[in-house]
Amino acid sequence: MILATALGNKTELGFDTLGSGTVYEENNFNLLSGGDELSFGSAQFDSDIEVDLTPRKTSTPERPPTLKRRRISQPIQNPLRVLSKECCEEKCLDSLSKNDVISSERCFKMLPSETSQSQFILDTIREHSFTKTVKDKVVVETNLILKGKRVCPKSWQIVHNVTEDRWKSCKDKFIQGIITITHKNCGRTGSRDKTTAAIGWMRFLFERIGDYMPHNSEIHLPCCYSKTSLHARMRNEFLARGISENGIICYDHFTRVWKMHLPEFKICKKSGFAKCTICTNLKELYEKATTNFEREKINGLLKLHMDQVEKERKRYHYHREKAEKEPEELLTIIIDGMDQNKTDLPHLMTEDKATSNLLKLRTHITGSIVHTGVTSGKIPFAHIDVNQIPHDSNLTMNILLDVLSEVKTHLAKVLYLQLDNCFRENKNRFLLSLMELMVEINVFEEIFVSFLPVGHTHENVDQMFSKISTKLGHRNTYTIDDLEETVTASYTPPIKSCGLLKKPLYNIKDWLLPHITGKMQGHSKPHNFRFHKVGGRAYMQYRLWCTDKWQPTTIDANGDQVPGLRCLKSIPGRDDVPSFVIPSLEKMDADALNLDIPRRYGMRLPVAAVQWWNDFFTNVKELEKVPSETPSSWILYDLKDHAVEKRNLRNQIEDPRVGQNVMDIEERLTLPCPRVTVTGGMPVMADHVDNYNSIAVNDMIAIYCPEYDEIPQIGKVLSRDDDKFIIHWYKGSWRTAWKPFYLFQGRKRVPYQDEEPVEAAIYWGFSLNGRNMLSKETQIILHEKYDDVIVSLQD
C-alpha cells in the first residue's frame, strides 16, 4: 500500500525525477493497474506490492483542483501499433502489455526538457551496459530491463519513441565517459545579434525621451507610451532599415529584455511630478476615440510631439558630448532645483512617533553640472540655502556666475545653457538680458539657452538629485554641515557643495532694469534662444524648436536684414556694481524651530548636533545681514578679464602655419588621378561644330574629355589660339560648390592646367552663383549638351 498511499496523496514518491518536483493527478496513472510490475525509469516495484489506484474523493467533487503540469510536446503513441512493430529476432515487444507501453512512454514524455530526456537515456545505458574491445574497436553490450522484462535496445527505442540517431548520440557519450548532459546554451553569457540590436535601440531612445527622477534612480518614459507601441515603433524602424522579420525580436522577448537589461526605465501611470499636458490630453483622446481614423490621427500627433521632444533632448546631449570633446570651443552647463521635501533637517532614516510631526528646517538645493574637458567630463555643483532669499531669477543668475567663476580656467568660445522651463527663475527678461550682456562685453562669443518642453524637463542633473536622495536614505543627516558632506559624497565625481547662508547675492534684477529696453512679450513659447554679435553689437534670436530657423529674419524699413532683437538699450559700466539682495526669515519660523529641533528631538540627536542647532538659532539673525559697503568690482567683469586673457593666450599658442598645412593636406587627399596622355595623341572630339570664336579668356567653360569619367568637366579659360585653348581645371559636382584645382610641385602649389582643342568645348560663357555652384538653368543646359555628345559618340 506504500505506492497507493503515495499516489492518493499526490506526493513526490517515485515521481520527483519527472523534474522540478512536479506533482501530477492520480488519474494520469490509472492505466498502470494492468501490469505485473510497475517501473519508473530505473526504479522498479515488485509485483507483490498491492496497488490501489482508486481515485479518492475530494472536498469539492464538482470542481476538483487542477494541478499545473508540463504540456507534452508529442502525443502518446497508439500502444497496439507499437506492439505490432518488429524489433528483433526474439520479438521482445511481444512480452510487453499495452499498459507497459503507455506508462513507460508517458513517464518519459513528462520529463521537463529534451536535455533531461537525453540524460534519462544516458543513465539507462550506463546502468544496463558495459563496454568491451573487439578487434581494436569499442563495442557496447546492453541488457535492458523494462517493466521487469528483458528487452532489446530496438524495442526500448520503439516504446519510448526515441529515434535511432538520438540513441546513438547518447551511446557515443557513454563510450566517451560523459556522465552529465548539458544544453548547448548552458553557460552562455552573450546575446544574439538581434537582442543586442534591440537593447541598443531601446537604450538610445529611452535616454532621449525619458525623465530622470530626482528622488530615485528610475527614468520615467512618457505616460502616453506603452510597451506595445514601443515594440511596434522598433519593429517599423528596423523594417525601414531593411532588417528582415527574423532579425527582430518578438514582443515577449522585448519585455524580457526590458526587464532584464533596462530595469531603470519605467512607464509610470502615476507619479508625484506633473506630466506633459499634450501627452496627457492625447492619451485621453485616444481612449475616447471610436474610429481607426481618429486613432491614427492621434498617433500621428503623438509621434510629432515626441519627435520634437526627442530632438530637443538630443540637441542637449550633442552639446554635452561636444563640450567634453572640444572644451576650447564649447562649455555646457545645466541648472535645476531639487525637490525641497527630501532635504529637510534633521533628516532621520527612521521616523518614530515622537519626531514624525515635529517641525524641520526647510532647505533647498540648486544643482548644476558643467560639462567640459576634465577627466570625468563633468563638474557637479550644489548650492544650498534655507529659503532666506527669494527663489527668482536673481538666484539663478548668481549661481550661474558663481559656477562660471569656479570653472573660469575652462571658459570656452561658446556657452550652451540648459535650464528648467520656469518663467519665475529662468525664462524671463532679466536672465535673457544678462546673456546678451555677457556676449556684449566678450565673456563669450556666442551663447545658446535651451528649455525643454514642460513635462519633459528631467535630465542628468535630476539623476544627480536621485543619488543625493539615495544617500540621504542611508544615513542620518542632522545639520547643514552634515547635509553638505552627504551631498558631496553622494555622486561621482564628488559634488562641490556651496553654502549660501553667509554668501550675499547680487541684486542683478534691479541692476539690469534701467538698461533693459522694455517689456518682453511672447518669450514664454520659444524653447531656444541665441545671443551673438553682428557688427560689434550683441543680438538675441529665438525659435520654437531646434529644427526651426532662427528669428527674426525680417527686413527693416531701410531694406537691411534684421540680425535679431536688442534686450539692452545701454550697457552698464565697469564701475556700476549691483547691490545685494536683502535676505528675509519670514518663511522660517525660527522660534518654533528652536523649540522643536534642539529640545524635542530628545536622544535622536547627538550632543554635537544639539550644540550646532543651539548656535544656529542663537545667530540666526545674522542671516539677514549683508555687507554695508558695495564692492568696487564684481564677478561679471572678472570673468570678462579672464576670458580676454585666455583668448589672447589661445591666439599665441595657435600656430598660423597649422591652418595652411591642414589645407595643403586636404588638397593632396582630394586630388583625383591625373590624366595619362601619350605624346602626339589627341582627345576624341565630339562630332558637332559650334561658333568657337566666341570663347574668350576668363570664360567659365564646360568640355568633354573621354579620358575622364566624371561629368561635368568645368574650368576657366586662361588663354586661347585659333584651334586650342588652355584651361585651369575646377573641381566640384552637380550639387556641390566649384573651386580652382591645384597641384603640388614639391611644396609649391600650382594651378592644374591642360591644353585642349576648341572642338572639346560644349558650353561656355556661363557663371557660378553666389555659392560657387552651377545654377539650375546651367545644369539643365549641360545635361542636354552631355547627352547629345555621348549619344553622338555611341552612334
Higher pLDDT, 745 or 89: 89
Looking at the chain, the whole-number percentage of residues with pLDDT higher than 90 is 21
Looking at the chain, the whole-number percentage of residues with pLDDT higher than 70 is 82
- Mean pLDDT over 73-98 rounds to 83
In a domain, 25, yes or no: yes
Domain match, 283 and 170 both:
no
pLDDT > 60? residue 28? no
Domain match, 286 and 370 both:
no
In a domain, 545, yes or no: yes
Domain match, 236 and 137 both:
no
- Residue (of 38, 31, 36) closest to 14 by Cα position: 38
Higher pLDDT, 480 or 704: 480
- What is the structure's pLDDT at 399? 94
* Domain limit, last residue, from 285, 310, 335: 310
In a domain, 446, yes or no: yes
Give the pLDDT band of residue 554 (cuts 50, 70, 90).
low
| DSSP per position, 744-771 | EETTEEEE-EEEEEGGGEEEEEE---TT
- What is the structure's pLDDT at 712? 82
Most confident of 304-308, 430-434, 549-553, 779-783: 430-434
* Domain limit, last residue, from 310, 337, 363: 310
pLDDT tens-digit readout, 664-691: 666 666 655 654 544 333 333 333 335 6
- Mean pLDDT over 290-304 rounds to 86
Q: Is 564 left (phi over 0), alpha (psi -120 to 50) or beta?
A: left
Most confident of 70-84, 274-288, 627-641: 627-641
pLDDT > 90? residue 351? no
Domain match, 447 and 530 both:
yes
pLDDT tens-digit readout, 191-213: 678 888 899 899 888 887 777 77
Domain match, 144 and 279 both:
no
Domain match, 332 and 303 both:
no
511, 572 Cβ separation under 8 angstroms: yes
- What is the structure's pLDDT at 214? 65
- What is the structure's pLDDT at 295? 85
- What is the structure's pLDDT at 60? 41
- For residue 498, what are the β-bridge partners? 383
Domain match, 206 and 329 both:
no
pLDDT > 70? residue 40? no
* Domain limit, last residue, from 176, 204, 223: 176
Give the pLDDT band of residue 6 (cuts 50, 70, 90).
very low
- For residue 141, what are the β-bridge partners? 130
pLDDT > 60? residue 2? no
| DSSP per position, 243-286 | --GGGS--HHHHHHHHHHH-TTEE--S--SSPPPHHHHHHHHHH
Tell me the three cell numbers of residue 235. Answer: 519593429
Give me the chain's average pLDDT, please.
Answer: 80
- What is the structure's pLDDT at 653? 57
Higher pLDDT, 230 or 72: 230
- Mean pLDDT over 467-493 rounds to 90
- What is the structure's pLDDT at 486? 92
- Residue (of 525, 335, 550) closest to 446 by Cα position: 550
CA distance 428 to 521: 10
pLDDT > 90? residue 427? no
Query: Which residue type does 560 have?
Result: D
Domain match, 164 and 199 both:
no
Q: For residue 57, how many other CB atoms are within 10 A of its CB?
A: 8
CA distance 484 to 497: 6
- Among 21-35, 534-548, 740-754, 766-780, the range scoring the smallest mean pLDDT is 21-35
- Mean pLDDT over 311-337 rounds to 91
- What is the structure's pLDDT at 254? 92
In a domain, 607, yes or no: no
Task: Give the total number of structural domains in the chain.
Answer: 4
Tell me the three cell numbers of residue 180. Answer: 552529465
Sign of CA dihedral 468, 470, 474, 477: positive
- What is the structure's pLDDT at 631? 79
∠ Cα 597 601 603 (to 5°): 135
Domain match, 233 and 363 both:
no
Residues 6+ apart with CB under 8 A from 724: 755, 756, 757, 758
- What is the structure's pLDDT at 271? 58
Higher pLDDT, 769 or 227: 227
385, 501 Cβ separation under 8 angstroms: yes
- What is the structure's pLDDT at 319? 92
In a domain, 250, yes or no: yes
Domain match, 530 and 400 both:
yes
- Among 55-64, 107-116, 404-413, 512-521, the range scoring the smallest mean pLDDT is 55-64
Give the pLDDT band of residue 38 (cuts 50, 70, 90).
very low
In a domain, 609, yes or no: no
The 3-state DSSP class for residue 102 equals helix
For residue 555, what are the domain limits?
A: 325-588+614-624
- Mean pLDDT over 285-302 rounds to 86
pLDDT > 60? residue 16? no
- Residue (of 559, 522, 560, 558) closest to 540 by Cα position: 522
**414-419/330-337 β-pairing:** parallel
pLDDT tens-digit readout, 483-504: 999 999 999 899 999 988 888 8
pLDDT > 90? residue 447? yes
- What is the structure's pLDDT at 652? 64
pLDDT tens-digit readout, 738-776: 888 888 776 677 888 888 888 888 888 888 887 788 888
pTM of the entire predicted model? 0.58
Domain match, 161 and 305 both:
no
In a domain, 399, yes or no: yes
CA distance 561 to 565: 12
Domain match, 533 and 578 both:
yes
In a domain, 546, yes or no: yes
33, 51 Cβ separation under 8 angstroms: yes
Give the pLDDT band of residue 10 (cuts 50, 70, 90).
very low
- Mean pLDDT over 417-438 rounds to 90
- Mean pLDDT over 268-291 rounds to 76
pLDDT tens-digit readout, 376-387: 889 999 999 998
